[in-house]
Amino acid sequence: MDWDIVIGIETHVQLKTQSKQFSAASIAYGAEPNSQACLVSLAYPGVLPVLNKEAVKCAIRFGLATDAAIAIRSVFARKNYFYPDLPKGYQISQYELPIVNHGKLTIKVGDEDKVVRILRAHLEEDAGKSVHGVSQGKSGIDLNRAGTPLLEIVTEPDMSSADEAVAYAKKLHELVQWIGICDGNMQEGSFRCDVNVSVKKKGTDKLGTRREIKNLNSFKFIKQAIDYEVNWQIETLEDGGTIEQSTILFNPDTGETRAMRTKEEANDYRYFPDPDLLPLDVNDDMINEIKSTMTELPAEVSQNLQKNLGLSEYDANEITADRAVTDFFMQVVEKGASAKITANWILGNLYSRLNESNVEIQNCPISIDALANLIKRIDDSTISNNAAKKVFDRMWQDNQLTVDAIIDDLGLKQISDSGEIESLVQQVVDSNASMVEEFKSGKDKAFNALVGQVMKLSKGKANPSQVSDILRKKIS
Amino acid sequence: MINNSINELHHGLLKKDFSSVELAEYFLSRIKKLNPSINAFITVDEEKSLGQAKLADEKISKGDLNPLTGIPIAQKDIFCAKGWKTTCGSLMLDNFISPYDAYVIEAFNKAGSVNLGKTNMDEFAMGSSNETSYYGPVKNPWNLDYVPGGSSGGSAAAVASRMAPIATGTDTGGSIRQPASLCGLTGLKPTYGLVSRFGMIAFASSLDQAGPMALTAEDCAHMLNVMAGYDERDSTCINRPKEDYLANLDHSIQGLKIGIPKEFFDEGLDANVQKLVEEALNEYKKLGAELVDISLPNTSLAIPVYYVIAPAEASSNLSRYDGVRYGYRAKEYKDLMDMYFKTREQGFGEEVKRRILIGTYVLSAGYYDAYYLKAQKIRKLISNDFKEAFTKCDVIMGPAAPSVAFKSGDKKEDPLAMYLQDIYTISTNLAGLPGMSLPVGQTQGLPVGLQIIGNYFKESQMLNMAHAYQQKTQWHKMMPEGV
């Protein structure tokens, strides 16, 4: 039997504000436990929440970036349940009236564009953390994270494979960093996905019962968890079983999912509007002010790179996947370097070197100017692409030297003088008569071998395309 | 000093008739003498009080003072006060020493007032007789067999017995006005949002409001001058220019229209109370005011609506008392769930648990629309009744409570009878309007209060009305025997 897979994603995005959602306590990661738990975080008697306006701005930015409707009035509600790391006994979260409604995000599925609809995005606060195993028979509570501002972004069930789900998560991850509302750090929990998965018989309209995989904090886990879960659901149904609506956890060590609680066991959260907070009113002036601070979005920038700078769609999308990379790229190009070669170099050599050394592009040891000069020397045929790699290696180690000094020092200047190349070609033709014959009898491979001989003779410095031209003329 | 107004005490301090320390010592000695029988205070800390008094004396000697500098005040134990045990009348917070000051405490500290102690109250402000306190019932100074009203019963009894010249209260459904009425005081619940709720332990957030309790309207005006003001730490606090509530006290009330709601004079009202309220209204006529008949048709719905909304909010507000971070925790428990159950079972009293249950029920899936949502709609109708009424009159008057004080224990086992105590006060909380009570007579040796309800932020006008009456009458000067 064939099955359709239906996936919706809820993402908790930690907002890049200075302080908590409803108090002035810091949200910096990794502080001593409870050192950032102010009286509001601790839910002391009599304390009250005061909304962080920066978090509201972040939500509006997100709404604008996904072409969503910004609600002129949204309401904070209380979600009531007891847990030791939830100090008030309720979480403040927008429930019936969220600030962002009906946005969309376009992802790439193969060669096709696909729009994933965003149902809503709402502001809420994070809970604290229970710490187990600190002392025998006791659990610790760390409330540093309690009250951290989150934007929960909820999609429609628009994705139909694990790959689409991952493509969406990656795109969203890129976007929230691009618009500056999230640091994107998945290890530290700044970007976490709950994935709703169900399957239905191909061609039927009726959705199957969904199970929600909680708290996935890597793209790899999203893929693994969905794959496992889809298989499990299909097997279960094909064996005549039924799926029960439930919340499940993914275990990265075993690659399996397991049920945490079923719908029957779910809490009745007794939502009601928080009487300590007035409804959140947003006016056009506020929206326009935020709009005026927003730059182009990755999709638009990618379009421009293709149209104006002639980049391939692939390269343009790769560059614009990261705002810092885009900025770096644009600055190199503004120094007069060829856009295409720059893109190749950033996505190739520079990327792999940054990854190997675990360095962010913002901290790249090679300056914008130096990289631009290197690319100019490739572009004007002073050095070959291969020679440029050697120069690049030297630049990485010593950023005091200029590109030209390194080229001179390594003796890498490319031979582009046609007379000189001609004489090299002649030497090779003379001493490789049999190979020339092979080429003439139709073996194209022999031609490449001859080019290789010329390059070797020039110690790699001859301009390869010139070599090729001259050789072809000579022996054809 | 015993019957002195704030003005008189202020002048006494200025003229060095007595120092702030002497004033504090005087009231502290009265507390020592009277509190064992009245039980108005939960916590008294002479050292702290006298420390504040010393600071006040320094301020006074430097000429750095205002009318409240050096004046002793009793603070309801619902306000967090730094370094003070702050219990809210509950075992749940019996070990809680507040690390911070509530806005109201801060405001009186800034003014240089002297905190005499923390007053007894119904547990988490839930009650109308001060019998739900973990610290035992408060007695009515007019007759120790009777209740002082609640929930600000400790504050009311403290001022009525002259253990303190003034006190703070809070009012969620009548908790300032009903005890003021039962103890013969002047007490005012301001417009919702006038006084910051920061640091005031929440009962029902959309209804709670702090206010002054004193002998006279003039003293209430002095106190409101200190208490009212914008505070960005309370998002429901309203940012508006500060007023001087003393400024209009002596205005003529000639021609002001007093609305008399017919629903406040129904069969539930004690005949003697009705008679005294009507006499007071006659006095107002003599002062030049005009009485007009009005109707507040949804009055009978106020209590049912209140007992949906207030418990709903309370059930959530009181979730933080879980034994995890501070406050009471059960001694023995098997696991986390057992710790929650036992802590909350033992830490809360009967009435609090009753209201948590009601609140949890009305917010539950499947009941929310029928109870909470419907109650919110009726709440709007009640507000509209007042809006309509205020097109015909300047203030509204009627009884503050349906009867005089009742005997301790009389209504303790009958919650519904107890809830009816607030029948005339609750609707103003639901509408967010200001209301006050002032003494207008006595029957069987027990005081009777007249309620004045004003339009939003018309506290100044209400105080003017009350002050005008108190210039012509003596009820506010009556003092219980034996104190």
Query: DSSP readout, A392-403?
Result: HHHHHH-TTS-H
> Using the 8-state DSSP alphabet, how is residue A392 labeled?
H
Picking from B131, B144, B72, B26, the residue whose alpha carbon sits closest to that of residue B480 is B144
How many domains is chain A built from?
3
Q: What Å distances lie between residue B88 and B78, B151, B173, CA to CA?
A: 5, 10, 17
Question: What superfamily would CATH give domain B6-256+462-477?
Answer: Amidase signature (AS) domain (3.90.1300.10)
Picking from B113, B96, B400, B109, the residue whose alpha carbon sits closest to that of residue B264 is B400
**A132 plus A247 within the same structural domain:** yes
- Closest CB to A275: pick one of B79, B313, B360: B313
Q: What are phi and psi of B63, to 5 degrees?
A: 80, 10
Model confidence over B182-204: pLDDT tens digits? 999 999 999 999 999 999 999 99
What's the pLDDT at A156? 98
Q: Which residue of A has its CA nearest to B204?
A: A275
The CATH number of the domain holding residue A453 is 1.10.10.410
CB contact under 8 A, B80 and A45: yes
Shortest alpha-carbon distance between residue A244 and chain B (Å): 20
Interface test with B, best of A44, A79, A88, A96 (most B CBs within 10 A): A44
CB contact under 8 A, A44 and B100: yes
In terms of DSSP H, where are the helices of B72-170? 103-111, 153-160
CB contact under 8 A, B326 and A44: yes
**A58 plus A159 within the same structural domain:** yes
Supply B447's token pair: 């005081």
Q: Which residue of A has its CA nearest to B234?
A: A48
Picking from A216, A149, A137, A214, the residue whose alpha carbon sits closest to that of residue A181 is A149
Tell whether A41 lies on the interface with B, counting CB pairs under 8 A. Answer: no
- Closest CB to A90: pick one of B93, B319, B324: B319
**A153 plus A277 within the same structural domain:** yes
- Name the pLDDT band for B271 (thresholds 50, 70, 90): very high
**A397 plus A452 within the same structural domain:** no
The type of residue at B179 is P
Are B476 and B221 in contact, with CB atoms under 8 Å apart? no
**A442 plus A351 within the same structural domain:** no
Supply B94's token pair: 């019996």
**A354 plus A280 within the same structural domain:** no
Chain B residue numbers with beta carbons less than 8 Å from the beta carbon of A280 are none
CB contact under 8 A, A84 and B336: yes
Tens digit of pLDDT at every position of chain A (476 positions)? 699 999 999 999 999 999 999 999 999 888 999 999 999 999 999 999 999 999 999 999 999 999 999 999 999 999 999 999 999 999 999 999 999 999 999 998 888 999 999 999 999 999 999 888 878 878 899 999 999 999 999 999 999 999 999 999 999 999 999 999 999 999 999 999 999 999 999 988 899 999 999 999 999 999 999 999 999 999 999 999 999 999 999 998 898 888 887 776 678 999 999 999 999 999 999 999 999 999 899 999 999 999 999 999 999 999 999 999 999 999 999 998 889 999 999 999 889 888 888 888 888 888 898 889 888 888 887 887 888 888 888 888 887 878 888 887 777 777 777 888 888 888 888 888 888 888 888 888 888 888 888 888 887 788 888 888 888 888 87
Shortest alpha-carbon distance between residue B371 and chain A (Å): 12
**How confident is the model over B6-27, as a mean pLDDT?**
97
Q: How much is the CA Rg of chain A, to the nearest whole Å? A: 29
Are B177 and B136 in contact, with CB atoms under 8 Å apart? no
Picking from B197, B212, B250, B230, the residue whose alpha carbon sits closest to that of residue B68 is B212
- Report the C-alpha gap between B78 and B299 in whole angstroms: 29
Q: What angle do CA B37, B43, B49 make, to 5 degrees?
A: 110
Are B452 and B465 in contact, with CB atoms under 8 Å apart? yes
Q: Which residue of A has its CA nearest to B100?
A: A39
User: Which residues neighbour B9 within 8 Å (Cβ) at sequence distance 6 or greater?
Assistant: B1, B23, B70, B71, B165
What's the pLDDT at A436? 87
Task: Return the SS3 of A311.
Answer: coil
Supply B454's token pair: 């004003």
Are B399 and B450 in contact, with CB atoms under 8 Å apart? yes
**A246 plus A201 within the same structural domain:** yes
In terms of DSSP H, where are the helices of A184-283? 219-238
Task: Mark A313-350 as b/e (b = at least 16 C-beta within 10 Å).
Answer: eebbbbbbbbbebbebbbbbbebebbbbbbbbbbbebb
What's the pLDDT at A399? 75
What's the pLDDT at B139? 98
What's the pLDDT at B482? 86
CB contact under 8 A, B99 and A277: no
What's the pLDDT at B364? 94
**A94 plus A31 within the same structural domain:** yes
Specify the DSSP element, H or E, that contains A294: none
CB contact under 8 A, B88 and A50: no
CB contact under 8 A, A276 and B205: yes
**A333 plus A244 within the same structural domain:** no
Q: What Å distances lie between residue B401 and B15, B129, B164, B476, CA to CA?
A: 41, 12, 24, 17
**A322 plus A471 within the same structural domain:** no
- Name the pLDDT band for B4 (thresholds 50, 70, 90): very high
Supply A413's token pair: 């200047």
**A310 plus A254 within the same structural domain:** no
**A276 plus A313 within the same structural domain:** no
Please say if the pLDDT value at position B1 is more than 80: no
**Catalytic positions of B, written as ranges:** 76, 151, 175
> Using the 8-state DSSP alphabet, how is residue A265 labeled?
G
Out of A286, A319, A350, a domain closes at A286
Are B92 and B100 in contact, with CB atoms under 8 Å apart? no
- Report the C-alpha gap between B476 and B447 in whole angstroms: 10
Model confidence over B351-393: pLDDT tens digits? 999 999 999 999 998 899 999 999 999 999 999 999 999 999 9
The range of the structural domain enclosing residue A317 comes to 295-410
Chain A residue numbers with beta carbons less than 8 Å from the beta carbon of B102 are 46
Residue count (chain B): 483
Out of A358, A384, A410, a domain closes at A410
The type of residue at A457 is L
Please say if the pLDDT value at position B2 is more than 90: no
- Only one residue has tokens 């913002």, namely A362
CA A190 to chain CA centroid, nearest Å: 13
User: Which residues neighbour A410 within 8 Å (Cβ) at sequence distance 6 or greater?
Assistant: A387, A390, A391, A394
| Domain-wise residue ranges, chain B | 6-256+462-477
3-state helix, strand, coil in chain A (%, to 5): 40, 25, 35
Q: Which of residues 266-325 of A touch B (CB under 8 A)?
A: 268, 270-272, 275-278
